[in-house]
Amino acid sequence: MDSYAQAATRFSVLGSYAGSMRRIITGPRNFFEEYGKSGNTLMPVFSLAVSSVFYAAASLLTHICPQPLAAVVIFFINAAGMPLMAAIAGFVLSRSVLRTNIVFSKFFGIYAWAASAALLAAWIPYLLLLVEVWRWWLIGIGLIMVCGMKRWEAVMVVAVTLACMIGGYGFLAG
């Protein structure tokens, strides 16, 4: 492939990422409805990776780190790993308690898309709490639109998953 074709491919993938972020921010219900029908499992992972790189780099602006390379790696692992762990907890809960038949890739996609959008602003210290609430709201919308959960089921999955995450933090910190 020549350099022009490679650049065009790179631009189209990043353009797709930017368009997805715009759509999830401006119309999350429509976005998740389209995602549920699309079957695309790679784009949520790619979007999470891009947003995690952005978050890691931007976080260096708000943290004084003696070893910035190590800090970037830690920020990236946190940004990309937490949605994965939350998705696993939510998936186990939904399969064992609610008996849903959704596949993990779609379930993880909901968490990845929500985190991808939230990470764009999560590095700003005073927006962190607001962004976290918004991320969990996006996850709830995704569970309703993609998985076909009732509102109370989505609230239960979000609340129990969030409680498990907070409990896990407390366990690790204690």
Q: How many domains does the chain have?
A: 1
Its pTM stands at 0.89
The whole-angstrom separation of Cα 93 and Cα 58 is 33
Q: pLDDT per residue over 24-82, tens digit each?
A: 999 999 999 999 998 788 999 999 999 999 999 999 888 888 898 999 999 999 999 99
- Concatenate the DSSP letters of all residues of 38-95 into one string: H---HHHHHHHHHHHHHHHHHHTTT---SSHHHHHHHHHHHHHHHHHHHHHHHHHHHH
Full domain range(s) for residue 92: 3-173
- In this structure, the number of other CB atoms found within 10 A of the CB of residue 141 comes to 19
**Can you give the pLDDT at residue 10?**
57
Which of 32-36, 98-102, 145-149 bottoms out in mean pLDDT, i.e. has the lowest? 98-102
User: Which of the four pLDDT bands, split at 50, 70 and 90, describes residue 170?
Assistant: confident
